[in-house]
Amino acid sequence: MMNLSEALKSHEKKILALWTERTLDTYVSSGFFKKSLDPFANPVGANIREGLAQLFRLILAGADSQEFAGPLDQVIRIRAVQQFTPAQAVGPILELKWVVRQILSADKNCRELLPDLAPFDRDVDRAVLQAFDLYMECRDRLHKARIRELKSGSYILTDSGCISALIRDNLREVAQTAQTTEGSAAEKA
Amino acid sequence: MAVIKKDELARSVVEDPTLMTGSMPDKDWTEIPAVFKPGNYAYTTKPEKLEYLNSQQGVSFPNARAWNPEDEDWKLPPNWKEIIIKGLADRLDRFRSLKIFMDCCVRCGACADKCHFFLGTGDPKNMPVLRAELLRSVYRQEFTLAGKLLGKMAGGREMTVGVLKEWFMYAYQCTECRRCSVFCPYGIDTAEITMMLRELLHLVGCGINWAMEPVSNSNRTGNHMGLTPQAFKGNVEFLCDDIENLTGVRVNPTFNRKGAEVLFITPSADVFAEPGIFTCMGYMLLFEAIGLDYTWSTYASEGGNFGLFTSNEMMKKLNAKMYAEAKRLGVKWILGGECGHMWRVIHQYMDTMNGPTDFLEVPKSPATGTVFENAASTKMVHISEFTADLIKHGKIKLDKSRNAHVKATFHDSCNPARAMGMLEEPRYILNNVLEQWYEMPENTIREKTFCCGSGTALNTEEIMELRMRAGLPRANAVKHVYDKHGINTLACVCAIDRATLSTLMDYWIPGVSVAGVSELVGNALVIEGENRQELTEGLRTLL
């Protein structure tokens, strides 16, 4: 009889197909995202497909969860700027549990393995927590970019003149203050 | 069947695929309303900006008011529908292209998956064919016999407030980049459909501030930021000081000088904002190296023309200013800096709107004697065309090792690539100033280039997420060369690109910076009498 790892490996194709399909179904018009395999013509579809596949293989191989970062980034960086709630953005990672159960229970030789899924589930949990960290990092980066653009925005440029000039004025002021301080020190002496 | 260990597992998570949205459309697209939420629309025009513009000659921007897209009531004028239908009739009459574009689409779908907004969002209304259908359906209903008789059955649709809201949503989720047009077998210019949608919306006072404030500023002081002539001149002079500190070369540009051979016009962002200022230093070093007889204008102090994103009349007026200055100063021809849409206006609309420019001469490079026949009509030459010609004739000395810190790829900015067909010149320059640079994949460059995602006045921070998803196809291709070749610089020839791609890179591929091609030229230039510091970062080096 197959063990769980063998079962997951032998059903890899089906699992990935269903997982990718369900994830891409979260887009309103997903036909093209599912169909086109060109990574440059179809960045959402191709990155999600590749990211999920890699993540699944890493979990199967018992990889250290640190290694999940790359494939998770491929999926989450995209979903963090699309119109999803945080839960919807990271949801597809968790969905793997459901997908695996669907596929395994459809095969009568594999049904008995379902109770053995606990360690697999824990890996998925680790991945989803990491995905949430990544989601927050992406959002944080976005807000910082927004602040940076605001700060370099028109009001600064129109109301306070050239940055080079400000730096130069500042240096001049510092130099003058230093001179004055030296001067008064000399006077005291 | 085995029983799942429920105590170990969160039952809801395991058994229900509930966290997924499963947002497959269950309704016809005409029945899905546009919903405005913070982050998915750009702020509306400040009433005072619109009132000022409406008071100006040659343009009309009525119905100024404070309104919020999230509100049910947009405070539209009572006869708004009549205004829109009349406005559409007027435009169908004036613009033959619009009439053709309304009639000739066969909905083959070739454009559908070519739009960066669609590719980043998966929203079907961002398919160019469907975006155009937002207008086309109203056109059918009101202006075709079949539509008048059969209505919905003939693809017609009543003009309602809901339709107007949809227009506002999707006319501002298009950057008029024209990538879709490349794939259209009929050559439908979907950008012009967006332009018409925006014009119609302006008739009822619906526009966005990020477009209209720069337009208003440009109309008033000559540039987007509203910089006064003194401030503009001051900023250029500070850059001259920086150039001297870095290279030991003192450049002494002139302003509003009558009788100069060439008028130089560039986007104002090159004069005051990073990383454009380094590109600007590059221009000035190049002009110094060949002793070009040129002047800046503190009135035509903006290459950008947000009128293109607003209305025909506004575009015409802002474009006319450049030629009025050329005439007033008595120059022979105009040299243009690294701008995107300025070149689209010049190549596609200028001649019809403000030509002929018979008071100028066909541009001739004083250094090489090359006559730019391609600019025989507009009298305006692109800095990359000009630079490539100098290099070709060996008129400038370049040291590639001065760009040793740069490992670049090149982004074809939409307008220079698709609207003026300038594909080879920037590449020729890069070959001559860089040790190595790498192309992105074939279907993402040249005439198939992907937009930065923030053009046509969408480069505002309140729609940051929208910009990031629209910019994904571009960033995704940059990521490919970053992973494969370790590039650290994205070179381009557009000021909006320089601003927006910097933010885009920061999100998608931190560590990649954005540089104008002329900045890289400036880095590599060897100038007689220079006293160059050790510039490990080129013109960006902090001394």
Domain boundaries defined on chain A: 4-151, 154-188
The mean pLDDT value for B169-184 works out to 96
In the predicted structure, residue B19 carries a pLDDT above the cut 60: no
Q: Which of B14, B20, B123 sits opposite A29 (nearest CB)?
A: B123
Tokens (6 digits) for A48 = 């999600």
Q: Any idea how long chain A is?
A: 189
Sheet holding B333-336, edge to edge: B294-296, B262-265, B333-336, B380-382
Least Cα separation, residue A189 to chain B (angstroms): 36
Residue B4 DSSP label: P
Least reliable range by pLDDT among A54-63, A175-184, B237-246, B524-533? A175-184
- Cis peptide bond upstream of A39, omega within 30: no
The sign of the CA dihedral B470, B471, B477, B479 is: negative
Give pLDDT, residue A153. 62
Which is nearest to A29 in space by CA: B166, B473, B123, B108?
B123
Cα–Cα separations (whole angstroms), residue A178 to A31, A181, A183, A185 = 69, 5, 8, 10
The mean pLDDT value for B449-467 works out to 95
Contact check, Cβ <8 Å, A158/B476: no
Which residue does chain A place closest to B228, by CA atoms?
A158
Contact check, Cβ <8 Å, A141/B508: no
pLDDT band at B8 (very low <50, low <70, confident <90, very high): very low
Least Cα separation, residue B508 to chain A (angstroms): 8
Which residue does chain B place closest to A154, by CA atoms?
B225
Q: Cβ atoms within 10 A of the Cβ of B75, count?
A: 14
Least Cα separation, residue B292 to chain A (angstroms): 26
In the predicted structure, residue A54 carries a pLDDT above the cut 90: yes
Give pLDDT, residue B433. 98
Contact check, Cβ <8 Å, B8/A121: yes
Least Cα separation, residue A26 to chain B (angstroms): 5
Give pLDDT, residue A173. 80
Q: Name the burial class of residue A188, with classes exposed (0-12), middle (13-18) and buried (19+) by CB atoms within 10 angstroms of its CB.
A: exposed
Give pLDDT, residue B256. 98
The sign of the CA dihedral A16, A18, A21, A25 is: negative
Residues B525/B251, Cβ–Cβ less than 8 Å: no
Tokens (6 digits) for B127 = 């398919």
Give pLDDT, residue B226. 87
B386-398 CB burial, b ≥16 within 10 A, e <16:
bbbbbbeeeebeb
Give pLDDT, residue B456. 95
**Chain B residues with CB inside 8 Å of A42's CB?**
113, 119
Q: Which of A29, A112, A142 sits opposite B124 (nearest CB)?
A: A29
pLDDT band at B35 (very low <50, low <70, confident <90, very high): very high
Residues B524/B508, Cβ–Cβ less than 8 Å: no
**Chain A residues with CB inside 8 Å of B118's CB?**
29, 32
In the predicted structure, residue B347 carries a pLDDT above the cut 50: yes
Contact check, Cβ <8 Å, B464/A145: yes
**Chain A residues with CB inside 8 Å of B510's CB?**
141
In the predicted structure, residue B101 carries a pLDDT above the cut 50: yes
The mean pLDDT value for B206-213 works out to 96
pLDDT band at A188 (very low <50, low <70, confident <90, very high): low
Give the model confidence (pLDDT) of B124-140 as tens digits.
999 999 999 999 999 99
Q: Cβ atoms within 10 A of the Cβ of B144, count?
A: 17
Q: Which of A23, A81, A161 sits opposite B469 (nearest CB)?
A: A81
Three-class SS state of B481: helix
Tokens (6 digits) for B313 = 């009349």
**Chain A residues with CB inside 8 Å of B113's CB?**
32, 36, 41-42
pLDDT band at A151 (very low <50, low <70, confident <90, very high): confident
**Chain B residues with CB inside 8 Å of A166's CB?**
none
Q: Which of B9, B16, B112 sits opposite A121 (nearest CB)?
A: B9
Mean pLDDT of chain B: 93
Least Cα separation, residue A146 to chain B (angstroms): 5
**Chain B residues with CB inside 8 Å of A172's CB?**
none
Residues B406/B523, Cβ–Cβ less than 8 Å: yes
Q: Strands B380-382 and B525-526, how do they pair?
A: unpaired
Mean pLDDT of chain A: 89
The mean pLDDT value for B33-56 works out to 95
**Chain A residues with CB inside 8 Å of B225's CB?**
154, 157-158
The sign of the CA dihedral B322, B328, B329, B330 is: positive
Alpha-carbon distance of B116 to B108, in angstroms, equals: 19
**Chain B residues with CB inside 8 Å of A33's CB?**
122
CA torsion angle B283 B284 B288 B292 (round to 10): 70
In the predicted structure, residue B12 carries a pLDDT above the cut 60: no
Contact check, Cβ <8 Å, B508/A77: yes
**Chain B residues with CB inside 8 Å of A97's CB?**
9, 13-14
Alpha-carbon distance of B381 to B391, in angstroms, equals: 16
Three-class SS state of B148: helix
A81, A90, A97, best to mutate vs chain B, most B CBs in 10 Å: A81
ipTM for the complex shown: 0.91
**Chain B residues with CB inside 8 Å of A20's CB?**
none
Give the model confidence (pLDDT) of A89-131 as tens digits.
999 999 999 999 999 999 999 999 999 999 999 999 999 999 9
Least Cα separation, residue A28 to chain B (angstroms): 5
State which of A24-38, B5-19, B61-75 shows the largest mean pLDDT. B61-75
Alpha-carbon distance of B421 to B506, in angstroms, equals: 29
Which residue does chain A place closest to B36, by CA atoms?
A83
Residue contacts between A and B (CB atoms, under 8 Å): 169
In the predicted structure, residue B26 carries a pLDDT above the cut 70: no
Give pLDDT, residue B302. 95
In the predicted structure, residue A75 carries a pLDDT above the cut 70: yes
Contact check, Cβ <8 Å, B477/A91: no
The mean pLDDT value for A132-147 works out to 95
The mean pLDDT value for B244-257 works out to 97
Alpha-carbon distance of B194 to B505, in angstroms, equals: 27
Give pLDDT, residue B17. 43
The mean pLDDT value for B451-472 works out to 95
